[in-house]
Each structure stands twice: as C-alpha cells, then as structure tokens.
Amino acid sequence: MKHKHVSVLIVGGGLTGLTSALFLARHNIDYLLVEKHADTAIHPKAGGITFRTMELFRQLGLEEAIRTTSKPLDNIRGRIAVETIKDIDLAELKQGESTQKEIDNKIVKMIEKISPSKAASCYQMNLEPILLQAAEKGKGHIRFNTELVTYQQDDLGVTATIIDRNTGTEEIIRSDYLIAADGAKSSICKHIGIPTTGRGVIGGHYINIYFQADLSTFLQGSQFGFYQVLNPEVFGALITVNNRDQWIYHVAYDPSKGDRPEDFTEERCREIIKKAIGVPDLDFVILSTLPWAAVERTATRFQDNRVFLVGDSAHLMPPTGGFGSNTGIQDAHNLAWKLAAVIHKQAHPRLLETYHDERHHAVQVTTKYASDLLFSAVNKGISTLNNMDHLAVTVGYKYSSKAVIEQEPTTHRMDRLELNGRPGTRAPHLWVNYQGKCISTLDLIDGNFVLFTGENNSLWHTAAQNVSSHLGITINVYSIGSQGDLVEREDSWETLYDVTPHGAVLIRPDGFVAWRTKEGESNPNLILKQVMTSLLW
C-alpha cells in the first residue's frame, strides 16, 4: 500500500467538503479530500445562498462567479397556490408578483445596511463545479471516486484507509485531523456512535422529480419561484431551476402506507407531472429523481478527539428558510481557522474544542427556527416562531466560548438583529475608503486577526507588532477616522462598534468579534498580550 501524510483528511466532496478545502487552503493548510462519487452533484438541490454565506464566498474571491451563475434566478420570488399550473390566473399572478416585490425590496434595503453581499440562488449542481475549480487551483489534493474504508485515531493523529473505486487500490493516509463532510448518512458519525437529538422526520417524505419542459404558455414570464399545486392526486410543489425550461416537482409519499422511493418509476413520475401541470399530452423529459425528507436531527457532539463533524453529518434541518447548506458552510469556516492555528502551532489544541461550543449552539438556534417555519406553514399561518428574527438567525447569532472574551452582562437578543461589535457576534459591516478604493470593513478580514482602533493608534499598532512577534501570529491593525487608514463614507465606526475614539475591537479570522474595549486601555501592550494568550492558549 502507498502511504501519505496530510494535515487534514476531508471525507466528502459536496458543498461542505469543498468549502472546507477552500478555507483550509486559504490558511496554507495541506489537505486531501476524498469523495466516493465520480463527479459533483447532478441533481438540483440546496439552491439558496444567504448573504452571510455570500460574504464568505466574497472572501474566497468567488462572489462574482457565483453571482453570474445565479443571475437567471435573481428575480425569482414568492409563492402561489394553484389547482394545477394550467389553471393559473395570470392577473392574480402579476398582482402577487408586485406585492412580493415590494416585500423583497424592503428586505434587500435592510440587508444592504448590514452586508456588502446579497443573497443568491444557485443550485448545488451549479455551485459545486465553481468550488471544485477554485480548489483545484490551490493547495491540497482532491480525489473523486475514492472512498474511506476505515480509520482509527490516536493521540498524535488519524490513520485512514481509502480505496480507489475504479482500480480497487487501497492506500493508507496519515493525517493530523479528519473532517467528516460525508453527508446525512455519514459513515463516520455512525462509526463514532455519537447520539443525536431532534424529532426526526417532521415534514414528510418526498420525491424530487427533475424535468425539462416548456411551460411558458401557462406562466408567461412569471417570476414566482414556488407554485403549490393543490390537486389532491399529486399534491406538491413546482420550483424553477433555471427560470426557463428546467423544473423540479416535489411530491409527497407515505412510508407508513407502504410507499417506497423505488415505486416512483419513470412512468409514474410522468403521470404525476402531467396531472400537476394539468396537460395530459405535455411534452417533457424527466432528467432524474431523488427522494428526500424534512428531517430535524443534530449530533450531540461535533468533535470526537481529532475528528470533526460538519454540515449534514452533524445536523439536518427542514429546508424552510433555506438554512441547511449555508449552516454547513459556516461550520467549515468556523473550523478552518482554528485547525490552521493549531497546525501552525499558533494555538493550543484546546482551541479546537470551541468549534463544538460555538457551532452547536448556532445550529440549535437555526434548526429551531427552520422547524418553526415549517410548522407555521403547515398550520396555515399560525405562528410558532417565538419572536426570532429571520436576519438575526441568518447572521445575528452569538458565539460563547473560550475563543471569545466578553464582560457584558446583558443577554444577547434573537428577536431583532443586533450587530454592534459585541464580542461573539459577526463584526459590523461599514463602507470605508482604503488606499483609494471603497471597501467593506469585512473585506479586511483576510484570514488573520484584525484590530480596529481610532485614529490615534500608535500605541495599539506597537502593541500588535510586539504581540504578533511574541506569539508568531499576524494581527493586522487599521485606524478608522478622517485621518486614519480607513475613512468612513457614511456611518460612524464608533456608533456601529459601540466604542469611543479611544476604543479598540479585535476580530477573529472568521469575522467574529473576539474582544472589545470601549474606552481604551492604559497599557495596550499588556492587555493585548493577555487577550491573545487567553484566546489561543
């Protein structure tokens, strides 16, 4: 057998696995990613990308490419209920589009105040090739058609056996750490035996039928993204894939009545589509089918010594709200900088324990909200959302761990978005002029720690240089003000970050505030050394 050593072995080449690879490469960490399938996804699923996730893709330099790919779905919005697609009242449709557009514009304006990025619609089958292409240009190795056979870990690392499914050749891989991004049926999670919590299937079982058809006669350029079909024979939902001629139809089935996914033959699926559209002689082609279920399930632990669960291997939530894949990508982002700091010997391995502490809580908040959205929809508008705010769930959750230093007594709220520089929350977005360009403060979070200060920051700058040299970790320092490195364009950084002109805010490599001093410190060198040592060691 061949033997190879890498810092991190990633098992799974879906969205979470590929983004894990990209985030690790950004921190100059070598990895090997193995994926048992021969290629990236071929079926449309996981289409919604939140603005927070787009911020992460912005950091990777992929925002523009993803935005271009998602352009056909830019104006897709809202939902409407009809008996069949043929029965759509076009006047009602136009009125509904107009109302939905007004709602969406309000949301867009709210997001523009808090983020440099916008949400996008890009199905996994279109997004994965973009991520793969970017990963192949960077540090690390990716092997499709390669499967994890077995692994064992010890105090110093992980020894795994992988197999090339084409040739049958086995290989032993020695890694410092293993990331389990192998999906909802994770063999790694089962091997570890980590218990799960959650109510299991809470929204039913479905067959997702991907087909190609010209429906322009009935929709006439409609921009709706979700058509609820009420025909009791084929009750389900039609969703556009490319806003032209590709669609997916979700139809429910009931295992308790003996229904099985394999019962949905191509002939049966064709009959379902014809009845849903309301046209017996409809001309269309079925491209693929995929069973799925709305599930609520979370592992009780996201870490087992040197093994980390990310994405669907760690948690499953209903698709309502579109949080699932986004949550997994944010898992990968949280974990990557911590692995890098430990591997580069810039932090104690204890830092890795904060991955579970932070992400498990964020996942619980998000899963509850997604489930409540589902139950609210099923109950026809009866709210069970417990006053959680959608934007707060998207980007306003707060981390509490040893990787955050906070001394503020008030409780963090989730009924409204609060991004005010509080430690544990995502650093506020502020448009500034920097070196002749207009950028967001979030654009300066480049994988290192960042220290924002007032204009007169010579003591902070010296302190950062001293601490960086002492700990062997980079701290980038930026003064903000009319004569600073960064000049505010509209809002005041002091107001947004809740500091005085003498204050300072330390931001982690993942864009979350690690520590803040509102009034300043008499001995910046000492306090910054204490803060960084507490965070990392």
Are 457 and 527 part of one and the same domain? yes
Q: Do residues 339 and 467 both lie within one domain?
A: no
Contacts of 212 (CB under 8 A, 6+ apart): 245, 246, 247, 284, 285, 287
User: How many angstroms from the chain centroid is the CA of residue 463?
Assistant: 35
pTM of the predicted protein model: 0.94
User: Is residue 532 domain-shared with residue 455, that is, in the same domain?
Assistant: yes
Rounded CA gap, 182 and 314, in Å?
Answer: 10
Residues 172 and 228 in one domain: no
For residue 160, what are the contacts with CB-CB under 8 A and spacing of at least 6?
A: 9, 148, 149, 150, 151, 172, 173, 174, 175, 178
Q: Say what the pLDDT of residue 384 is.
A: 54
Q: Is the pLDDT of residue 438 over 80?
A: yes
Is-contact 346 467, C-beta < 8 A? no
Residue ending a domain, choose from 278, 295, 312 = 295
* 411 assigned to some structural domain: no
Using a pLDDT cut of 90, give the percent of the chain over it.
80
Counted domains in the chain: 3
Task: Give the pLDDT mean for 451-456.
Answer: 93
In the block, residue with structure tokens 């894990």 = 20
- Using CA atoms, how far apart are residues 202 and 317, in angstroms rounded to an integer? 9
For the cut 90, the answer to whether the pLDDT of residue 91 exceeds it is no
Q: Which of 239, 261, 295 is the last residue of a domain?
A: 295
Look at residue 456 and tell me whether its pLDDT is greater than 60: yes
Which runs of consecutive H residues, i.e. helices, occur in 396-516?
A: 458-471, 493-497
pLDDT in tens, 261-316: 999 999 999 999 999 999 999 999 999 999 999 999 999 999 999 999 999 999 99
**378 within domain boundaries:** yes
Residue 421 counted as domain residue? no
CB of 37 closer than 8 Å to CB of 348: no
- Mean per-residue pLDDT, 52-74: 95
Interatomic CA distance for residues 360 and 367, integer angstroms: 10
The CATH number of residue 475's host domain is 3.40.30.120
Say if residue 82 is in the same domain as residue 137.
no
Q: What is the CATH number of the domain that holds 272?
A: 3.30.9.10
CATH number where 336 lies: 3.50.50.60
Give the Cα separation of 76 and 194 in Å (integer). Answer: 40
- Closest to 479 (Cα-Cα) out of 436, 536, 519, 441: 441
- Please state, in angstroms and as integers, the Cα–Cα distance from residue 433 to each residue in 238, 340, 453, 523, following that order: 45, 31, 15, 29
Treating both helix axes as pointing N-terminal to C-terminal, what angle do 63-70 and 51-59 enclose, rounded to 10 degrees? 130
**164 and 220 in one domain?**
no
Distance from C-alpha of 182 to C-alpha of 148, rounded to nearest angstrom: 10
List the one residue out of 51, 43, 172 whose CA is nearest residue 107: 51
Do 308 and 178 contact (CB within 8 A), yes or no?
yes
Q: Is residue 409 part of a domain?
A: no
CA–CA gap between residue 273 and residue 211 (Å, rounded): 9
Q: Which band of pLDDT confidence, cut at 50, 70 and 90, is reported for residue 18?
A: very high
**Same-domain status, 472 and 528:** yes
What is the reported pLDDT for 76?
78
Q: Are residues 145 and 42 in the same domain?
A: yes
pLDDT tens, position by position, 124-183:
999 999 999 999 998 899 999 999 999 999 999 999 999 999 999 999 999 999 999 999
Range of the domain at 516: 431-536
H or E element at residue 427: none
Residues 94 and 151 in one domain: no
- Mean confidence (pLDDT) of the chain: 92
Tell me: do 17 and 132 sit in the same domain. yes
> Would 219 be classed as within a structural domain?
yes
- Are residues 213 and 181 part of one domain? no
Token pair 């761990």 is at which residue? 401
Segments of 266-327 assigned E as strands: 284-299, 303-304, 307-309, 315-316
Cα–Cα distance measured from residue 536 to residue 241, given in angstroms and rounded to the nearest whole number: 45
- 385 pLDDT band, cuts 50/70/90, is low
Whether residue 106 is found in the same domain as residue 141:
no
Residue with tokens 């209920």: 81
With bands split at pLDDT 50, 70 and 90, how would you rate the model's confidence at 101? confident
How does pLDDT run across 305-317, given as a tens digit for each residue?
A: 999 999 999 999 9
Q: Is the dihedral of CA 532, 331, 365, 387 positive or negative?
A: positive
pLDDT of 9 higher than 50: yes
Q: How far apart are the first and last CA of the chain?
A: 39
